[in-house]
C-alpha cells in the first residue's frame, strides 16, 4: 500500500521486519521480493509519484573535481528513482570484472560472475528483456543474416547489449506494491538519520522528515539503504551521532572510490577500406528473440601480454557517409604554410577545403565554443555507402580512493549537509583510453576494415569534452576486508549487524556495462538473503 507520509501524526513510529530507504531500481526490486515472501516492509521514498522540484532540490550538491553532470539532474528523486529517465541499455558485467587484476589496485569482487548469473536471469525479467544470452554474440549476429568479424579475442570483441523498453520501475511495479499488504510505501518521506545503539553495532531506527509535514521514525529488524550511488554514502556520513565519521566509516572508506563511466565523444574516426564493412549490430538496434539488441566493440580478454595495464572499455560507433577530406587538407595546408613552404597538390587541397567548408566551419565553431552543435552543421547525407565511423569511447574507471564524495558545508531544506563530488581519474584510466584506441586500430587494420585516426589525450588532464555517464558507483564498495570496503559480499555494512546497502554504490569495480542490470541482480540476491534471515 501507499501512504503519504505527510498525513502521519508527528512522532509516529512505524514497525516492520525490513525498512528500505529509497524506491528506485534497487529498492523496488527488493520490495517486490519481500512482498512475494509476505515480509512486512516499510519503503521510504523521498519523493511522490511524480516529479517535484522542491524534493528534487534535495539532491543538489557541488561538483568540485573533474566536470560531471549537476548532482540534481543526473538522478531523480521520486517513486521509481532514476529509472524514470534511464535509457534502458542492459548488459551484465564480464567475468573479468569480478577478478582481481594485477596493476589495478582494489580490483576484484568478493563474488564471481557465476554467483550472480541466477540473479541476472531473474533481473532480465524485471527489466523486461529477452533471454540471458550475452556470451555468444555470434549467435545474435547470425540471426541478422550477416557474419561478423573475427576479432582477436584478446584485443577486441563484440559486446551485446539488450535494450529495456525502458522499464519505468515506478510505473510498471506500482500496482503490485499498491496491492501489497506486507509492503507499505511511504511517499514524501526523507530518511535523515540512522539511529544506532551505543557501540554502533546495529541500527535501532530510521529517523524520517517530510519537507512539509511531520517527523517520524521506522523501527525495523533490518535496514537497507537503496538511495543510489551518491545518497547511500551521504546517509552513512550523516549518521554521525555515535561514530563522528559516520556509520560504516571506521576505516575512512565511505564516499571514496567514486566511479563513473567516462565518455569520450569522437575519440577516434575510422575510415573504411571498403564501404559498408561487415559490422552487424554495431550501428542499429535490432529486434531479435522478443527483445531489442545492439552491439558495441569492447575490450577483449585476457589483456594482451606486454600491453600496459588498463581497464575495460566499449566503443560506440556512428556511421559516416561522407569522408570529410577538407579538414585534413586544411591541416596539411596550414602546416605547410606555417613552415614557409607550399604543400604539394595545393589546388587539390584548396578544392577539398572549399567543398567541405560547412564541415570545417562546424568543427571550428565547436572547437572554439566547446559546444556540441553549431549553426554550421554540415548537411551530412543520411544514407548511402558507409565510408567511415565516429568512435566514442565509454570505459571503466579504475577504483581510486581520491575520487570521492564528501559532505559539504552547504545544507538542504531539511538541514542536511549537501554532497560535494570530487571526481578524479588516474593513470590506469589514461591507459584504458589509449588501449581502446590502439585495439580498434590494430584490429581494423589487421582485418582490413579500415584505418583509425585517434584523438590524443592532453599532456596533462583530460579532454574538455569528456563527460560522465550519470553512473554513480563505488562509494560504499563491497569487500571482504573492512579496510578496503564498506559492505561485505551480501551487502551488509561491516560491523553493523542489521544495516545493508543496495545499488551501484556497492560495486568494487565498474566494468564498462551500464549498471542497472547488475543493480537489480544484486538487489534480488539481497532479497533472498533477507528472506532467509527473516524466516
Partner 1 sequence: MRATKQTRRRVLQWVGAGLAASSFGTFAPSLLSGAIAIGRAYLSSPAGAGLTLVMLRAGIANSPVQARDWFQREVARNFADGDVVMVEGWMLARIEAQACAMLYLEAEA
Least spacing, CB of residue 66 vs partner 1, in Å: 24
- Smallest distance from the beta carbon of 459 to partner 1, in angstroms? 15
Site of interaction with partner 1 (CB under 8 A): 152, 271-273, 304, 323, 325, 328-329, 331-332, 343-345, 348-349, 351-352, 387, 437-438, 441-443, 445-446, 448, 450-456
Tell me how far apart the alpha carbons of residues 516 and 487 are, in angstroms, rounded to a whole number.
Answer: 19
Residue 19 near residue 189, CB atoms below 8 Å: no
Of 4 and 307, which CB lies nearer to partner 1 in the complex structure? 307
Q: Which is nearer to partner 1, 207 or 366 (CB)?
A: 366
Q: Residue 459, Cα to own-chain centre: how many angstroms? A: 27
CA distances from 402 to 365, 433, 526 (A): 35, 20, 29
| Residue 57: DSSP 8-state | G
C-alpha to C-alpha distance for 308 and 330, rounded to whole angstroms = 35
**Of 234 and 319, CB closest to partner 1:** 319
User: Smallest distance from the beta carbon of 430 to partner 1, in angstroms?
Assistant: 15
Helices of type H across 7-100: 25-36, 53-56
Residue 434: φ, ψ to 5°: -70, -35
Q: 384 vs 456, which CB is nearer to partner 1?
A: 456
CB of 331 to partner 1, least distance (A): 7
Query: What are the b/e assignments for 425-441, b being 16+ CB within 10 Å?
Result: bbebbebbbbbbbbbbb
187 and 49 in contact (C-beta within 8 Å)? yes
Least spacing, CB of residue 436 vs partner 1, in Å = 12
Q: How far is the CB of 438 from partner 1 (least distance, A)?
A: 7
**Least Å distance between CB 107 and partner 1?**
24
**How remote is the C-alpha of 13 from its chain's centroid?**
36
CA–CA separation, 37 and 251 (whole Å): 36
CB-nearer residue toward partner 1: 243 or 271: 271
> Minimum CB separation from partner 1 for residue 332, in Å?
5
Q: CA 498 to CA 487: how far, in whole Å?
A: 12
Q: How would you write 292-353 as a 3-class SS string?
A: EEEEEEEECCCCCCCCCCCCCEEEEEEEECCCCHHHHHHHHHHHHHHCCCCCCCHHHHHHHH
- Minimum distance of partner 1 from residue 366's CB (angstroms): 17
Pairing of strands 388-395, 61-63: unpaired
Instruction: Please state, in angstroms and rounded to a whole number, the distance separating the CA atoms of residues 344 and 140.
Output: 48
* DSSP string covering 345-399: THHHHHHHHHHTHHHHHHHHHHHHH--S--TT-----SSS---EEEEEEEE----
Specify the residue, 95 or 354, whose C-beta has the smaller distance to partner 1: 354
Q: Which is nearer to partner 1, 448 or 480 (CB)?
A: 448
C-alpha cell at 134: 550475452
Nearer to partner 1, 34 or 452 (CB): 452
Which residue lies nearer to partner 1 by CB, 105 or 351? 351
Which of 136/448 has CB closer to partner 1?
448
CB closer to partner 1 out of 219 and 455: 455
**Minimal distance, residue 385 CB to partner 1, in Å:** 11
| Closest residue by Cα to residue 410 from 424, 420, 396 | 420
Is 418 in contact with 62 (CB distance < 8 Å)? yes
Cα gap 155→430, rounded to integer Å: 17
Peptide bond before 223: cis, by omega within 30 degrees of 0? no
Smallest distance from the beta carbon of 273 to partner 1, in angstroms?
4
Amino acid at each position: 500500500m501507499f501512504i503519504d507520509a505527510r498525513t502521519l501524526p508527528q512522532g509516529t513510529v512505524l514497525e516492520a521486519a525490513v525498512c528500505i530507504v529509497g524506491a528506485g531500481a534497487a529498492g523496488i526490486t527488493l520490495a517486490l521480493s519481500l512482498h512475494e515472501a509476505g515480509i512486512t516492509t516499510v519503503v521510504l521514498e523521498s519523493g511522490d509519484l511524480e516529479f517535484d522540484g522542491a524534493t528534487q532540490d534535495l539532491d543538489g550538491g557541488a561538483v568540485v573535481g573533474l566536470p560531471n553532470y549537476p548532482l540534481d539532474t543526473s538522478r531523480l528523486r521520486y517513486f521509481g528513482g532514476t529509472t524514470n529517465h534511464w535509457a534502458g541499455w542492459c548488459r551484465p558485467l564480464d567475468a573479468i570484472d569480478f577478478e582481481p587484476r594485477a596493476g589495478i589496485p582494489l580490483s576484484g569482487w568478493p563474488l564471481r560472475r557465476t554467483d550472480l548469473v541466477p540473479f541476472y536471469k531473474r533481473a532480465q525479467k524485471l527489466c523486461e528483456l529477452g533471454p540471458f544470452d550475452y556470451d555468444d554474440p555470434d549467435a545474435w549476429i547470425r540471426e541478422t543474416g550477416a557474419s561478423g568479424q573475427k576479432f582477436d579475442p584478446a584485443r577486441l570483441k563484440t559486446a551485446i547489449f539488450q535494450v529495456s523498453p525502458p522499464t519505468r520501475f515506478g510505473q510498471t511495479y506500482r500496482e503490485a506494491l499498491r496491492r501489497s499488504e506486507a509492503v507499505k510505501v511511504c511517499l514524501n518521506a526523507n530518511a535523515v538519520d540512522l539511529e544506532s545503539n551505543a557501540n554502533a553495532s546495529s541500527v535501532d531506527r530510521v529517523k524520517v522528515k517530510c519537507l512539509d509535514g511531520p517527523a517520524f521514525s521506522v523501527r525495523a529488524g533490518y535496514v537497507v539503504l537503496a538511495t543510489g550511488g551518491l545518497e547511500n554514502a551521504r546517509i552513512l556520513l550523516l549518521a554521525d551521532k555515535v561514530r563522528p565519521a559516520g556509520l560504516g566509516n571506521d576505516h575512512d572508506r565511505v564516499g571514496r572510490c567514486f566511479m563513473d563511466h567516462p565518455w569520450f565523444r569522437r575519440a577516434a574516426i575510422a575510415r573504411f577500406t571498403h564501404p559498408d564493412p561487415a559490422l552487424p549490430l554495431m550501428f542499429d538496434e535490432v529486434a531479435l528473440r522478443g527483445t531489442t539488441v545492439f552491439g558495441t566493440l569492447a575490450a577483449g580478454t585476457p589483456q594482451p601480454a606486454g600491453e600496459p595495464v588498463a581497464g575495460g572499455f566499449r566503443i560506440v560507433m556512428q556511421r559516416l557517409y561522407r569522408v570529410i577530406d577538407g579538414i585534413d587538407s586544411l591541416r596539411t595546408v596550414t602546416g605547410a604554410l606555417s613552415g614557409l613552404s607550399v604543400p604539394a597538390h595545393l589546388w587539390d587541397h584548396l578544392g577539398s577545403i572549399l567543398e567541405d567548408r560547412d564541415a570545417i566551419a562546424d568543427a571550428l565553431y565547436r572547437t572554439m565554443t566547446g559546444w556540441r552543435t553549431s549553426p554550421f552543421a554540415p548537411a551530412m547525407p543520411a544514407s548511402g555507402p558507409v565510408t567511415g565511423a565516429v568512435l566514442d569511447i565509454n570505459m571503466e574507471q579504475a577504483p581510486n580512493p581520491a575520487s570521492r564524495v564528501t559532505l559539504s558545508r552547504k545544507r538542504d531544506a531539511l538541514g542536511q549537509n549537501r554532497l560535494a563530488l570530487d571526481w578524479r581519474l588516474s593513470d590506469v584510466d589514461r591507459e584504458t583510453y589509449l588501449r581502446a584506441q590502439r585495439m580498434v586500430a590494430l584490429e581494423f587494420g589487421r582485418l582490413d576494415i579500415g584505418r583509425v585516426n585517434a584523438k590524443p589525450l592532453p599532456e596533462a588532464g583530460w579532454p574538455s569534452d569528456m563527460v560522465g555517464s550519470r553512473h554513480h558507483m563505488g562509494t560504499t564498495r563491497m569487500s571482504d576486508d573492512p579496510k578496503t570496503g564498506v559492505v561485505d559480499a551480501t551487502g551488509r555494512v561491516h560491523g553493523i549487524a542489521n544495516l545493508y546497502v543496495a545499488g551501484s554504490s556497492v560495486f568494487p569495480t565498474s566494468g564498462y556495462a551500464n549498471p542497472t542490470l547488475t543493480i537489480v541482480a544484486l538487489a534480488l540476491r539481497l532479497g533472498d538473503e533477507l528472506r532467509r534471515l527473516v524466516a
